[in-house]
């Protein structure tokens, strides 16, 4: 009996070895391949700083002693901007921006009043500054269409000479309003470029000049300035927004 039990035990051990040997020769299953996480979604949320350049086109009406002196002018504009945006779910974007640009606007006009007196007016627009809010829609992941509006300031001056007498410079920082819009493209990680147009209106400015040989009883001077800009620019984006790629 004892020999019989030992034989059974030996046969069982041999069978186990025989069945395990082919299993050990089978190829093992490879671990799953690493799949990198998807890139973060493009968003316009964040702040930025950048530069711009373009053209400025002004139209102004000046009246000196009830003689109208109109002038249209164009020049270059260039400067920088800083702002922040926030994108809501669904593609809507709101933001705020400040832009400061210097200009090359300068124009001289000669006029004759109703009494035959001759004068010369030299007009200059040194710079403009706009503080605007904007609202836009990201119609594609890296494209933003927007409109904007707000407050504008401009440094305007006019140098008047009348019958050979220098009446001085009428220099003033004027306040007005602005509205416009454009399109912006996020073309690389943290970088975007834009093309936009804006209109600025600075209203009427009335001045009366006294104490001059020509203007003993006072000379009336009124100006109304407005301008339009077409600008291209680039922004570097930073802050709490996700990277575009």
| 3-state secondary structure (DSSP) of residue 178 | strand
208 strand-pairing partners: 220
The domains of the chain are located at 46-238
- Residues whose CB is less than 8 angstroms from the CB of residue 148 and which lie 6 or more positions away in sequence, other chains included: 97, 132, 133, 134, 135, 179, 180, 181, 196, 198
pLDDT at 182: 98
Q: How many CB atoms lie within 10 A of CB 151?
A: 15
Report d(CA 118, CA 115) in Å as an integer: 9
Question: Which pair of structure tokens corresponds to residue 229?
Answer: 């800009």
Question: Which pair of structure tokens corresponds to residue 129?
Answer: 């500054």
pLDDT at 72: 75
pTM for the model stands at 0.72
Per-residue pLDDT of the chain (245 residues; tens, 9 = 90+): 555 554 544 555 455 444 554 544 556 666 777 666 655 677 899 999 999 999 999 876 666 665 666 667 889 999 999 999 999 988 999 999 999 999 988 777 776 666 676 777 777 788 999 999 999 999 998 999 999 999 999 987 777 776 666 665 666 788 999 999 999 999 998 899 999 999 999 877 766 665 555 565 666 666 778 899 999 999 999 864 454 43
**Helix (H) or strand (E) run with residue 8 in it:** helix 2-25
Angstrom CA distances, 23 to 11, 14, 160, 229, stand at 19, 15, 104, 79
Report d(CA 120, CA 229) in Å as an integer: 27
pLDDT at 220: 66
Q: State which fold the 46-238 domain adopts.
A: Porin (2.40.160)
Report d(CA 40, CA 33) in Å as an integer: 21
pLDDT at 244: 41
Q: How far is CA 55 from the centre of its chain?
A: 15
pLDDT at 243: 40
pLDDT at 203: 79
Alpha helices in 63-117 (DSSP H): none
Report d(CA 163, CA 169) in Å as an integer: 16
Cβ pair 222, 204 in contact under 8 A: yes
- Angle at the Cα of 219 from the Cα atoms of 156 and 225, rounded to 5 degrees: 25
User: pLDDT tens across 211-224, in order?
Assistant: 555 565 666 666 77
For CA atoms 182, 79, 99, 179, the dihedral sign is: negative
pLDDT at 128: 95
| 3-state secondary structure (DSSP) of residue 34 | coil
Cβ pair 229, 55 in contact under 8 A: yes
């Amino acid at each position: 009996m004892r020999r019989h039990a030992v034989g059974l035990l030996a046969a069982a051990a041999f069978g186990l070895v025989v069945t395990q040997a082919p299993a050990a020769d089978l190829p093992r299953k490879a671990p799953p391949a690493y799949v990198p996480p998807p890139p973060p979604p493009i968003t316009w949320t964040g702040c930025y700083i950048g530069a711009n350049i373009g053209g400025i086109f002004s139209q102004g009406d000046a009246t000196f002693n009830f003689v109208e002196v109109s002038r249209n002018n164009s020049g270059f504009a260039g400067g920088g901007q800083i702002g922040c945006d926030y994108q809501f779910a669904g593609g809507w974007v709101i933001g705020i921006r400040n832009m400061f640009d210097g200009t090359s606007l300068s124009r001289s006009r000669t006029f004759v009043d109703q009494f035959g007196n001759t004068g010369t007016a030299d007009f200059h627009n040194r710079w403009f500054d706009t503080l605007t809010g904007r609202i836009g829609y990201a119609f594609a992941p890296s494209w933003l269409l927007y409109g904007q509006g707000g407050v504008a300031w401009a440094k305007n001056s006019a140098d008047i000479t009348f019958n050979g007498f220098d009446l001085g410079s009428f220099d003033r920082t004027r306040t007005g309003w602005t509205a416009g819009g454009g399109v912006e493209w996020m073309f690389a990680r943290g970088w975007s470029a834009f093309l936009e147009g804006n209109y600025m209106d600075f209203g009427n400015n009335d001045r009366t000049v006294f104490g001059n040989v020509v203007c003993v009883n006072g000379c009336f001077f009124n100006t109304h300035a407005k301008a339009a800009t077409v600008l291209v620019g680039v922004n570097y984006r930073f802050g709490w927004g996700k990277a575009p790629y």
